[in-house]
Amino acid sequence: MKNIGKYLSYLISDKFEEYAYDIVDGVAKARNANELLEALYKGLRLSPKLKKKGNIEVPSPEDIKKLEETLREIGDNEKEVRKIGLSIALWAFADWEKDHRKRGDE
């Protein structure tokens, strides 16, 4: 979830000038697995455009597989899907640049 959230952070970054808050909001508000995956699909479709603007980390196939497995395990539990979506959205709003600078200083 962290890697997916990090990718979504590019969609709301001043550096990339996408401002696709609607996609991050869609992830946070997803009520079922399909809504969550569809929101992520919309976000991932922007990856070629983002790559042209700078070096980004796109979620790996393994990241997507783990998310799908987790969603399969929880089934139709709307409350759990909402928790996952909200967690991913929170990672999107984390201050990744600050985190990167901090690790570089250590």
Confidence (pLDDT) at 105: 44
**With contact defined as beta carbons under 8 Å apart, do 67 and 56 qualify?**
no
Where exactly are the structural domains of the chain? 2-105
Q: What string of pLDDT tens digits covers the 106 residues of the chain? A: 999 999 999 999 988 887 899 999 999 999 999 999 999 999 999 999 999 998 999 999 999 999 999 999 999 899 999 999 999 999 999 987 765 545 454 4
Using left for φ > 0, alpha for ψ between -120 and 50, and beta otherwise, residue 17 falls in: left
Report the distance separating Cα 9 and Cα 27, nearest Å.
Answer: 12
Please give the model's pTM, rounded to 2 decimal places: 0.86
